[in-house]
Amino acid sequence: MEKIMGLIEETTELMLDWEKINNISNENHVIPVAVQNMNTKEVILIAYVNKLALEESIRLRKVVLWSTSRNKLWFKGQESGNTFTLHRIFVNCEQNSLVFIATPDKGGICHTSHNGVPNNCYYRELDMETMKLINLND
């Protein structure tokens, strides 16, 4: 299913991307990483890292990810200025996923906002009765 950027972020329809992981190139050897706000404990986003992104994150003490859609290193916030300082890294038991504990260096967290106020990436809740998304900012 092809999604139009903008629509996916605004809709109340559940449009889960079941193909995302299937479309990730195996040549980059990525694993998922959850980025959590150290101060609020909010999960900011789920992304991917490869060895290079992890090494750069550690070296810079900034959140650096691997963009699976652009197939390149993604210095989180480089374009928007909404970078993240990396404080801690946790590794799961099977060593196939990570959690980055980070703090936003300024206000923005996600590329979306509500009335000019930055969201985290988890700003909608699924109503399990109606199967509609509810914007928690409304």
Structural domain count of the chain: 1
1-45 pLDDT per residue, tens: 344 556 766 677 777 666 777 677 667 799 999 999 999 898 888
User: Do 124 and 137 touch, CB atoms closer than 8 A?
Assistant: no
The mean-pLDDT minimum among 24-33, 61-70, 75-84 falls in 24-33
The CATH number assigned to the domain holding 61 equals 3.10.20.810
User: Residue 133's pLDDT band (boundaries 50, 70, 90)?
Assistant: confident
Please check whether residue 70 lies inside any domain of the structure.
yes
Please check whether residue 18 lies inside any domain of the structure.
no
Please check whether residue 138 lies inside any domain of the structure.
no
For the chain, the helix, strand and coil percentages under 3-state DSSP, each to the nearest 5: 15, 35, 50
Average pLDDT, the chain: 81
What's the sign of the alpha-carbon dihedral 106, 8, 130, 126? negative
Please check whether residue 17 lies inside any domain of the structure.
no
> Where in the sequence is the domain holding 58, given as residue range(s)?
27-109
Q: Which residues pair with 124 in a beta bridge?
A: 135
Please check whether residue 10 lies inside any domain of the structure.
no
Please check whether residue 93 lies inside any domain of the structure.
yes
**Contacting residues for 116 by C-beta, under 8 A, at least 6 apart:** none
Please check whether residue 40 lies inside any domain of the structure.
yes
89-112 pLDDT per residue, tens: 999 888 889 999 999 998 656 666
